[in-house]
Amino acid sequence: MRYRTFGKLDWRASALGFGCMRLPTKGQHENIDEPVATRMLRYAIDHGLNYVDTAYPYHGGNSERFLGRALQDGYREKVRLATKLPTWLVKAPEDFDRYLNEQLERLQTAHLDFYLLHSLKQSSWHKVQDLGVLQWAEGAIADGRIRYLGFSFHDKYEAFQEIVDASDQWTFCQIQYNYMDVENQAGTRGLKYAASKGLAVVVMEPLLGGKLVNPPQPIQALWDTATRQASPADWALQWLWNQPEVSLVLSGMSAMEQVQENVASADRAGVDPLTAEELALFDQVRVRYRALCPIPCTKCGYCMPCPNGVNIPRNFEVYNEGAMYDKPDSARHAYTMWVPENERASQCIQCRQCEELCPQSIPISEWMPLVQQVLGEGKPYVCSLP
């Protein structure tokens, strides 16, 4: 495992961090396969990983509970543990203590090494700021429940810069970043700005919710032109580690094979910097991907649950796969066979509640009728909103 500078801290983070949002399950998302997930987590830690990330809502609240059990037997002492305050649930100042204390109990720990304000946008930042979150956090650090404060972010760059500049309490931030998101949200500009202010930068969605793995033939054909061969996932991770401003890359792994592959990739992090030719190849891949995928959904699940029962990520996944792989009939078959009728796009009532929670700012209520028309009614594929 390679280790990297973590902002101004006198501590080096493993190049790879374990994200606990996509753990293996037994059917339902809330039902974590704990024996398998524990083996995965401990394998990563035994191979040098020292940063574990979770959040209050992951796996229906069970991710934190799982970690409380999985980090027994001395594993808690081997890692820095991070979780997040569910900012959208905070209604009053007393909620800060209520959620933090509940999370400490779930995680079976007396302190959190890193605590983040979760999924900040400009509106949610102003809300918790007005409720006194920074003053509260100062007290939680003083009494030992929190070691370091940070935030995760999903909004435009201008909001990111505003939040970074709002306090000198920030030790780190967490941004969605990969070779497809160089201009999206905080982007490369935000990465460099935060690093220039001395913040550690933790990267989430390095594989864009798995979309950069097992690419369609036009994408793989581009990777095959490289002078050295690597998997698409390894290319994506090495692109991130090639940037010194990146402190740590989180991966939400759901199978032991993924853990083993990513640990092996992390063993090479920063050893062989990418060449100018290889960096140019990323530009080509980026252009080709953008031409293939119409809806930028990463299946993060923040939009769920839908009040009318629509499985928003699943509908978008089926639709996108039909477009990216140019197999509309296969997508229509999957929609009919594997998406229950009460979870299909046809059930959307355009209430727009989900759009307030979507990190990608997808106009979900506008896409849903098109998804139904294409997949449910057999109309031609649409790759952009009218």
Tokens representing 302 are 């923040």
Tokens representing 97 are 């203590």
pLDDT tens-digit readout, 168-188: 999 999 999 999 899 989 999
Q: What is the pLDDT of residue 83?
A: 98
Phi, then psi, of 150 in degrees rounded to 5: -150, -165
- pLDDT > 90? residue 92: yes
Contacts of 59 (CB under 8 A, 6+ apart): 20, 21, 23, 25, 29, 30, 32, 66
CA distance 215 to 280: 18
Query: For the chain, where do the domains classified as CATH 3.20.20.100 start and end?
Result: 3-289
Tokens representing 110 are 């007396």
Instruction: Answer for the pair 87, 115: CB distance below 8 angstroms, yes or no.
Output: no
Q: Which CATH number fits domain 3-289: 3.40.50.12500, 3.40.50.720, 3.20.20.100, 3.90.1150.10?
A: 3.20.20.100
pLDDT tens-digit readout, 242-258: 999 999 999 999 999 99
- pLDDT > 90? residue 143: yes
Q: Whole-prediction pTM value?
A: 0.82
Q: At what angle do helices 256-267 and 232-241 cross, to 10 degrees?
A: 40
Q: What is the pLDDT of residue 100?
A: 98
Residue 227: which pLDDT band, with cuts at 50, 70 and 90? very high
Residue 287: which pLDDT band, with cuts at 50, 70 and 90? confident
Q: What is the mean pLDDT of the chain?
A: 95
Instruction: Answer for the pair 55, 21: CB distance below 8 angstroms, yes or no.
Output: yes
